[in-house]
Structure 1
């Protein structure tokens, strides 16, 4: 596999290039070539004047495209979710399972372990719970919330070894022994569904938590006398925070203010789910989001590129920076920013081609080009 992707505006993550082509060899990007210096004898693929960016990276989604993997996990649901994300420009993703019965979590671990070697772009598993605050549980069922113990954590880490990449946990429910167990593992710790005080949040970030889950939602707020977990996220110099830019999980003005405070530490997730009427969760679709049986907000209907669009159209951010929030910055959270999230020599050839209306025309996954919209 050896080709030049030409005639597109290239958002590399570092700069925006016109009149350049991307040289792909096998699964890697090997060069960015000025249009006037294209090498002879290499197959050229017309990018149709579209925008080209790194493949999007979604670190939190439960479902989409009819798949409710996070609620009813199976290899088939995972394959359906992979197809949906790829169609919408997301090349790398972390399927997410919220607080649920241990048997459901085990089915998710098993499905991902089974599929992981043969599914490009599958990064592992994000567990959102069960070690969360009952006060900030959102729609997570109370009966499945667990108090962490060293033995319980050892068991979870052993069962999910090689699969679990990110764990959302309320830091205030951890004691020193539990935190020590988690810190000894390679997983990324993300503070979320938490009623932590400002002091507890800052201590968690000093003790190994490097991320926070869906800023503002299901966490102690920033107030004048109690800065809460939101205040700790703002005040810490290094923690990264995800945000759901759909105008429903938080106001666009809150996204804009947070971006000014956090800069490159703020990244996008879709938080996307699908309708479900079985098991512990009952999700009903609304206009562009989901609610539970009580009408409580339960997830988004976003794709990650729609979140990018919202950052441009409603938050007022430049397109190049909005794209970095869905590519380079989430890659950093998992320590993958030397291979994903950029268009540069040596990076994996994961790419997304989209038009001015944010319609995805094609994706490239490990060098393989998939057209989704035929040439007119």
Structure 2
């Protein structure tokens, strides 16, 4: 069933790049026209909505989430659908689900399950493999018994089971060969640097060799030091590289978050099963997780993902940065550019018409 032609006018319209007042938008499945002022009256539509000055934006994109509402991606196809439902309730119909480090057999099984979901649910844009090719010294909440050096056979199995659905992979570049990098890039997989002991030079070389994302900046890596700048500054200094930020105020302090250039920023949740459920005992892969006051930690004390939602990430970063446009870009068009998602994260002519309207408390819902 096709979407009814809808016209919304008198809006604060964010198109993926900038915001205009008194904007209007005409759309069905895709954006048909847009403008400002009273020109909307020249068009006809089945639904005509007076936004009364409310903010309109593209749907958000969460490119790194492990779970929500009591479900983990590893729990299987139905759990994945439940997580996608939860994401939609918070403004995202475009999601890259993340698998935590696991055995190659288990990861391949999860990828088969994900393909079964993606066949009928276009909200699932792909899978992000966060491991198992990670550094033991910056493992965070990943099971150390699972972590390994990548081999051609292991990567080939993951790509085969993914059947084109592996959108990205986080790995430690110091463990990775040139051949492995070539395999991933030729398969269209975005390489993310994370959970790594790489210094500035090693991280810079990884970005020069084709990595394009820094996974959850400042977490799972060396910090910034005045004589040893580390991966964060390597990402900032490298062209065409994007930096993930978990904007929950726990993973990164707001003052530190403001150091990241907003034009290279991607807001992610890195959420786990406790998102939307509250404090209690959960699991992340094979590890037990305790959530207290909304903060998830494994027994060693390492932070184990977040309980953040993607709309809350936008609200938080807008407050920290003083720029709602920057926050919205970091959850829409920046993500689309980083992952080559044509037609997503934008309200330009011909773009996918996932349209959000935000209330006065900056809570979104789809039109």
Cα distance in structure 1, aligned partners of 2:360 and 2:354 = 20
Cα distance in structure 2, aligned partners of 1:115 and 1:90 = 17
Gaps of 5+ in 1: 364-368, 370-376
- Aligned position for 1:306: 312
- Aligned position for 1:374: none
- Aligned position for 2:279: none
How far the C-alpha of 1:139 sits from its partner, in A, is 1.0
Cα distance in structure 2, aligned partners of 1:107 and 1:39 = 53
Q: Residues 59 and 343 from structure 1, CA distance in 2 versus in 1: closer, same or farther, beyond 3 angstroms?
A: same
Cα distance in structure 2, aligned partners of 1:250 and 1:113 = 33
- Aligned position for 1:294: 300
State how 1:133-172 maps to structure 2 within 5 Å: 133-172=135-174
Cα distance in structure 1, aligned partners of 2:223 and 2:314 = 25
State how 1:1-376 maps to structure 2 within 5 Å: 1-25=4-28, 27-37=29-39, 38-39=41-42, 41-43=44-46, 44-47=48-51, 49-69=53-73, 72-259=74-261, 263-275=262-274, 276-277=282-283, 280-313=286-319, 315-336=320-341, 338-360=342-364, 362-363=365-366, 369=367
How far the C-alpha of 1:203 sits from its partner, in A, is 0.9
- Aligned residue pairs, count: 355
- SS of the residue aligned with 2:51? strand
| Residues 336-376 of structure 1: CA deviation (Å, up to 9, x unaligned) | 1x41111121100012211231222x21xxxxx4xxxxxxx
Cα distance in structure 2, aligned partners of 1:47 and 1:85 = 24
How far the C-alpha of 1:278 sits from its partner, in A, is 7.9
- SS of the residue aligned with 2:235? helix
Contact 1:73/1:104 (<8 A) preserved? no
Contact 2:195/2:221 (<8 A) preserved? yes
Contact 1:29/1:345 (<8 A) preserved? yes
Cα distance in structure 1, aligned partners of 2:344 and 2:316 = 23
Note the aligned Cα RMSD (angstroms): 1.8
How far the C-alpha of 1:256 sits from its partner, in A, is 0.4
Cα distance in structure 1, aligned partners of 2:23 and 2:228 = 51
Contact 2:271/2:305 (<8 A) preserved? yes
Cα distance in structure 2, aligned partners of 1:252 and 1:223 = 19
Higher deviation after alignment, 126-135 or 28-37: 28-37
Higher deviation after alignment, 200-209 or 114-123: 114-123
- SS of the residue aligned with 1:143? coil
How far the C-alpha of 1:185 sits from its partner, in A, is 1.9
How far the C-alpha of 1:279 sits from its partner, in A, is 5.5
How far the C-alpha of 1:176 sits from its partner, in A, is 2.5
Gaps of 5+ in 2: 275-281
How far the C-alpha of 1:234 sits from its partner, in A, is 2.4
Q: Residues 90 and 226 from structure 1, CA distance in 2 versus in 1: closer, same or farther, beyond 3 angstroms?
A: same
Contact 1:23/1:33 (<8 A) preserved? no
Cα distance in structure 1, aligned partners of 2:102 and 2:117 = 21
- SS of the residue aligned with 1:267? strand
Contact 1:100/1:130 (<8 A) preserved? yes
Higher deviation after alignment, 123-132 or 228-237: 228-237
How far the C-alpha of 1:148 sits from its partner, in A, is 1.0
Task: Name the TM-score, length of structure 1 as normaliser.
Answer: 0.89
- SS of the residue aligned with 2:25? strand
Q: Residues 278 and 89 from structure 1, CA distance in 2 versus in 1: closer, same or farther, beyond 3 angstroms?
A: closer
How far the C-alpha of 1:51 sits from its partner, in A, is 1.2
How far the C-alpha of 1:297 sits from its partner, in A, is 1.2
Cα distance in structure 2, aligned partners of 1:153 and 1:294 = 29
